[in-house]
Chains A and B, each alone.
Chain A
Amino acid sequence: MPEHTFRLNGEQVTVDVADDVRLLWVLRDVLGVTGPKYGCGISVCQACVSHVNGKAVTPCTVPVGDLDASDEVTTIEGLPDTVGEELHPMQEAWLEQDVSQCGYCQPGQIMAAVALVRRSAEEGRDITDDDLDGIRNICRCGTYLRIREAIRAGAAHM
């Protein structure tokens, strides 16, 4: 079986799995990294959102063979380390706003939020209502309002 090497949450990892297995399953089923959740498998629900080289992707649509050895995959588990803290400011904001209900969607929500704030910062602008309206992550518990509040608060500390 082919070997694949990439960086995961700051460490080099190597897995033995077919090229076309999507990264979500490599993370969850092979490496036991279960923060990214399954909700659709076709890049709709965004429950699996993680970062590749700092940008948001849906690992359910990334064949593991597409990753290079230098590609840095960050899941919710590795997010605090990107700022060298116990928790990332966005996670702190999530706690502050008491966002989570069942919590199933929340790793994906937080990872999407961080990428959104980074994107807008690169464009030199603040988060707008349109940005928030454009977030595609589903929350079946309906925590959308507190998510909006948490993103604005978290952005202020990023």
Chain B
Amino acid sequence: MSTDGEAPVSEPGGHVVGRRRFFGYVLAGATLVTAAGPIPATAAWAEEAQNESLSGSVDLNDVMTLAARPTSNLIKVEVHEDSTVSFALPRAETGQGITTSTAMLIAEELDVPVSQVRVTLADARPELVFNQLTGASNTTISTYTPVRTAAAIARRRLLEAAADEFGADLDDLVLREGVISDGSGHSAQIGSLVEKAASENTEEVSVDLKTSEDFSVIGEPQNRIDAVEAVTGRKKFTLDLDVDDALPTMVCRAPTINGTPESVVNTDEVLQMPGVTDVATISTGVAVRAETFGQCIDAVRALEVSWEPGSVDGLSDEDVLQELQEAELPMVPAPPGSSTVDETFTFYFRNNSALEPNCAIADVRSDSAEIWSGLKAPIVARGAIAEKIGLRPSAVTVHVPESGGSFGRKLFFDAAVEAAEASKEIGKPVKLMWHRADDTRQGRTQPMATSRVRISHDGDRVLRYDQRHTSVATDLSHGFGDVVTAMAAEIPGLDGTFAQVFFQLSQARSYDFGHESRLLNEVNRGFNTGSMRNVYSPNVVCARELMVDRLAQELDRDPYEFRRELLTDERARAALDRVAEVGEWGREMPSDTAQGIAFMHEYKSECAVLAEIDCRQETIDREVRDGVTGPRVTKVVLAVDVGLAVNPRGLEAQMQGCVMDGIALAMTSSLHLEDGHFLEASWDNYFYTRQWNTPPEIEVVIMPASGEPGGAGELGVAPVKAAVACAYGRAVGAMPTSFPINHGDLSFEPRPNVPPVPEPPSDGLDNAE
């Protein structure tokens, strides 16, 4: 961080005028509305970027931040007469806590209590172009400076208005907790000054931002601002909204992935069923609208439909694996005289469902449409919806309610497009929900992949690291694609296929491996895919970390010490050291139990993890009804350096969530593809981490602030998965090469796929407990 007299500093998302001086606007209006200044794409960072190789320090987050810059002036802070401050965040809150951290940024610069800041979610705002995409843990990186700038301008205007009102000197005024006072008896709530502070014309102003030494809100643990709503059941998700005449609607889907309806045999009969109001064929299946979702489920089960084939009919896990093996890109020859460790890892399909299923409300009229859905890329969604229903995008209004989780799923808008089509076909508003069985079987997946790793070394010295990642294609058509394409001209080295570029941008260098090459090849576009709390890293990093362990073993080196030597960055080493210390690396462990350690650098952040696992027979054999148990991860210590944690309490929560995801990916969660469809139909088939898999001990260490905020939301998943895999390998004495570890054993009785959704049980009262 810069101090007086030094060269200008650059901040993510910020345009530097002077030392810590940023410019922005007071916007014309009757109350006080402020905005940060537009940030030219030629800002300091872009110049730095010219000198970096693509796989070096420029990453996907830089590209997203750069893309968001030109429109950051359109993000406004407003101060109201009741002294509250409001801000419509052009991102999706999906549980990651960004409304809370954004409120903290505003409270910090404006000197108001966090409870006085109201952060809502903005509707789709096409003028924001690339500045309304929630992903890659980028929100805080890209909004950190613009949001604070707008708040600081508001603060300054309020102080000026007070000086005038009190007849006091600006320097004698103090703004604290939303009250301005002058030390000689005058004081006023900020709300009483907004009219005076407002401007008739839009004015350009510049302000100084606080430096980190002056922070009293940023960096302090803060409970979530929406917590009361959540625990009282008042928090409204899409399906909880009451939109006039938007009746429950569900879709009867094909037995195989992406099968389409050919004809419906019994429409009239189904229309006679209790509660059913409409039946309509749409491109993805047969939509049923009814008084209740329960009656939709009954109708979906009753529908007799003949289906056209799907997009991957006949394929099973083995076929896809073979396709991947055949598509693996060749390795370059190992350097002469070097030794190598060489292995291929397999990662089966995983489902990226959130707990809230795919859902949307749509009210499509002849000349306009209104949509409600928890969307992370609402501008792109709006375009897709408009195209589907044949309206101009400007005729489509998209609202973004809070989401019940995302994990990549809500970057897409499958339910929103489908709801729009159903509303159009039926001619009435619909509240459309996917059944969990549909969400699991037809919903998006983290694609199946293989990763071959070869490390060439001369004794202790690593000469090169090569990784060939081969994957079923990941669908990135939700907006990341547009960002990267649009930015391609600005960043040198952005060439190759789009997926390859994206892969390179999202994979940062963690260790000093000498020369590195990491290549991606993609096959088969017939699956519904997407990211899952990160795109490639959980697989790529897991494979790499296991191979670092293998090399350490061959060289008879300690896995922690060996990693430590391969890390050149101080922050990275510090994080690794911290988990080794807190987790007592190397402590005596009973047989069949072990520790594992892993590290990852990503999006300007560092994350190290130590995991302990218990693979003793009595543990593996513990019984849980309709659940998988297996080895238990008994302890996880995770150290994270995100540069600056705006809200440490929120960051800790995110990392705890990443622990659960990492364990699921390593041990229990996968989809089994058989004959063109997935066998899993619910959470008792698809085994996301449950309480009985949760480590009794988890410690998250937040490293001291070392700069500006880096990415955080998905950071822990890959290193946790890797540490658990490494621990498992060391406990059982054999490195795992196929994930999740239990994929080979089908631990449930598959439910039928015709009808596509299961019958709801009726014994609820008998099971009361």
Interface residues of A (CB under 8 A from B): 1, 17-18, 20-26, 28-30, 32, 34-45, 47, 52-53, 55-63, 66-67, 75-77, 80, 87, 91, 94-95, 98-107, 110, 115, 119, 129, 132-148
**Is residue B357 contacting chain A, with contact meaning CB distance below 8 A?**
yes
Residues of A within 8 A of B95 (CB): 101-104, 141
Q: How far is the CB of B538 from chain A (nearest CB, A)?
A: 14
Q: How far is the CB of A17 from chain B (nearest CB, A)?
A: 7
Chain B contacts with A in 722-769, Cβ cutoff 8 A: 757-758, 760-765, 767-769
Identify whether the interface residues of B are mostly helix, strand, loop, or mixed: loop
Residues of B within 8 A of A146 (CB): 653, 656
Residues of A within 8 A of B761 (CB): 42-43, 61
Residues of A within 8 A of B683 (CB): 39-40, 44-45, 138
Known contacts A43-B764, A45-B355, A95-B231; is A101 also within 8 Å of B96 by CB?
Answer: yes
Q: Are B433 and A135 within 8 A (Cβ)?
A: no
A-B contact pairs, 17 of them (CB 8 A): A34-B240, A37-B237, A40-B683, A45-B683, A61-B764, A67-B765, A76-B231, A87-B232, A100-B231, A102-B95, A102-B403, A102-B405, A103-B229, A134-B691, A136-B690, A140-B355, A144-B689
Candidates A18, A36, A61, A94; contact of B762 at CB < 8 Å = A61
Candidates B237, B403, B694, B758; contact of A144 at CB < 8 Å = B694
Q: Are B404 and A37 within 8 A (Cβ)?
A: yes
Q: Considering residues B240, B624, B627, B694, which has the most beta carbons from chain A within 10 angstroms of its beta carbon?
A: B694
Q: Are A91 and B760 within 8 A (Cβ)?
A: no
**Is residue B79 contacting chain A, with contact meaning CB distance below 8 A?**
no
Known contacts A39-B683, A115-B769, A133-B691; is A98 also within 8 Å of B407 by CB?
Answer: no
Q: Are B694 and A100 within 8 A (Cβ)?
A: no
Q: Are A44 and B354 within 8 A (Cβ)?
A: no
**Is residue B448 contacting chain A, with contact meaning CB distance below 8 A?**
no
Residue on A with the closest CB to B273? A18
Candidates B294, B406, B433, B764; contact of A66 at CB < 8 Å = B764
Interface residues of B (CB under 8 A from A): 94-97, 223-224, 226-237, 239-240, 242, 248, 274-275, 291-295, 297, 353-357, 402-407, 433, 435-436, 624, 626-627, 649, 653-654, 656-661, 682-684, 688-692, 694-696, 698, 757-758, 760-765, 767-769
Q: Are A45 and B657 within 8 A (Cβ)?
A: no
Candidates B94, B235, B295, B764; contact of A21 at CB < 8 Å = B295
Q: Are A144 and B691 within 8 A (Cβ)?
A: yes
Q: Are A132 and B691 within 8 A (Cβ)?
A: yes
Residues of A within 8 A of B626 (CB): 44
Lowest 7 CB-CB distances: which A-B pairs, in order? Answer: A35-B233, A102-B95, A142-B660, A104-B404, A103-B230, A62-B764, A61-B764
Complex: how many Å from CA A30 to CA B291?
A: 8
Known contacts A57-B767, A94-B231, A129-B696; is A42 also within 8 Å of B760 by CB?
Answer: yes
Q: Are B691 and A142 within 8 A (Cβ)?
A: no
Known contacts A38-B433, A42-B682, A129-B696; is A139 also within 8 Å of B768 by CB?
Answer: no
Complex: how many Å from CA A148 to CA B660?
A: 14
Residues of A within 8 A of B97 (CB): 101
Identify whether the interface residues of A are mostly helix, strand, loop, or mixed: loop
Known contacts A25-B292, A29-B291; is A39 also within 8 Å of B233 by CB?
Answer: no
Known contacts A20-B762, A143-B657; is A41 also within 8 Å of B355 by CB?
Answer: no
Complex: how many Å from CA A100 to CA B295?
A: 31
Q: How far is the CB of A15 from chain B (nearest CB, A)?
A: 10
Q: Are A133 and B692 within 8 A (Cβ)?
A: yes
Residue on A with the closest CB to B700? A145
Residues of A within 8 A of B653 (CB): 98, 101, 143, 146
Q: How far is the CB of B241 from chain A (nearest CB, A)?
A: 9
Residues of B within 8 A of A25 (CB): 248, 292-295
Candidates A18, A47, A95, A107; contact of B228 at CB < 8 Å = A95
Residues of A within 8 A of B624 (CB): 133-134
Known contacts A29-B292, A39-B355, A140-B407; is A100 also within 8 Å of B227 by CB?
Answer: yes
Known contacts A52-B765, A95-B231, A143-B656; is A105 also within 8 Å of B355 by CB?
Answer: yes
Q: Are B659 and A142 within 8 A (Cβ)?
A: yes
Known contacts A45-B683, A57-B768, A98-B653; is A107 also within 8 Å of B233 by CB?
Answer: yes
Candidates B233, B239, B692, B757; contact of A77 at CB < 8 Å = B233
Additional 5 contacts, C-beta under 8 A, given A29-B248, A38-B357: A29-B293, A94-B231, A138-B683, A144-B660, A148-B694
Residues of B within 8 A of A129 (CB): 696
Candidates B234, B274, B355; contact of A104 at CB < 8 Å = B355
Q: Are B239 and A41 within 8 A (Cβ)?
A: no
Complex: how many Å from CA A142 to CA B353?
A: 13
Residues of A within 8 A of B658 (CB): 142
Complex: how many Å from CA A85 to CA B17?
A: 53
Residues of B within 8 A of A132 (CB): 691
Residue on A with the closest CB to B291? A29
Residues of B within 8 A of A102 (CB): 94-95, 354-356, 402-406
Q: How far is the CB of A75 from chain B (nearest CB, A)?
A: 7
Q: Are A44 and B691 within 8 A (Cβ)?
A: no
Residues of A within 8 A of B233 (CB): 34-36, 75-77, 107
Q: Are B436 and A45 within 8 A (Cβ)?
A: yes
Residues of B within 8 A of A35 (CB): 232-234
Residue on B with the closest CB to A26? B292
Q: How far is the CB of A12 from chain B (nearest CB, A)?
A: 19
Complex: how many Å from CA A148 to CA B698?
A: 12
Q: Are A91 and B232 within 8 A (Cβ)?
A: yes
Candidates B239, B294, B627; contact of A22 at CB < 8 Å = B294
Complex: how many Å from CA A53 to CA B764?
A: 13
Complex: how many Å from CA A143 to CA B689?
A: 11
Known contacts A42-B682, A59-B764; is A34 also within 8 Å of B236 by CB?
Answer: yes
Complex: how many Å from CA A110 to CA B767?
A: 18
Q: Are A60 and B231 within 8 A (Cβ)?
A: no
Residue on B with the closest CB to A95? B227
Q: Are B656 and A145 within 8 A (Cβ)?
A: yes
Residues of A within 8 A of B769 (CB): 55-56, 115, 119
Q: Considering residues A29, A52, A76, which has the most beta carbons from chain B within 10 angstroms of its beta carbon?
A: A29
Q: Are A87 and B231 within 8 A (Cβ)?
A: yes
Q: Are A98 and B274 within 8 A (Cβ)?
A: no
Known contacts A40-B683, A43-B767, A141-B405; is A100 also within 8 Å of B230 by CB?
Answer: yes
Residue on A with the closest CB to B359? A38
Q: Are B762 and A138 within 8 A (Cβ)?
A: no
Q: Considering residues B357, B654, B761, which has the most beta carbons from chain A within 10 angstroms of its beta carbon?
A: B761
Q: How far is the CB of A16 from chain B (nearest CB, A)?
A: 10
Q: Considering residues B97, B227, B435, B698, which has the most beta carbons from chain A within 10 angstroms of its beta carbon?
A: B227
Q: Are A38 and B229 within 8 A (Cβ)?
A: no
Q: Considering residues B407, B649, B653, which has the most beta carbons from chain A within 10 angstroms of its beta carbon?
A: B653
Q: Are A61 and B763 within 8 A (Cβ)?
A: yes
Complex: how many Å from CA A21 to CA B292?
A: 8
Q: Considering residues A35, A39, A41, which has the most beta carbons from chain B within 10 angstroms of its beta carbon?
A: A41
Complex: how many Å from CA A21 to CA B274?
A: 10
Q: How far is the CB of B221 from chain A (nearest CB, A)?
A: 8
Residue on A with the closest CB to B757? A41
Q: Are A140 and B353 within 8 A (Cβ)?
A: yes
Q: How far is the CB of B457 from chain A (nearest CB, A)?
A: 37
Q: Are B649 and A98 within 8 A (Cβ)?
A: yes
Residues of A within 8 A of B275 (CB): 17-18, 21
Known contacts A22-B294, A145-B698; is A61 also within 8 Å of B682 by CB?
Answer: no
Complex: how many Å from CA A43 to CA B682?
A: 10
Residues of B within 8 A of A39 (CB): 355-357, 436, 683
Residues of A within 8 A of B660 (CB): 139, 142, 144
Q: How far is the CB of A138 from chain B (nearest CB, A)?
A: 5
Complex: how many Å from CA A98 to CA B228?
A: 10
Complex: how many Å from CA A136 to CA B627?
A: 9
Q: Are B294 and A44 within 8 A (Cβ)?
A: no
Q: How far is the CB of B433 from chain A (nearest CB, A)?
A: 7
Q: How far is the CB of A99 from chain B (nearest CB, A)?
A: 8
Q: Are B765 and A57 within 8 A (Cβ)?
A: yes
Residue on A with the closest CB to B694? A144
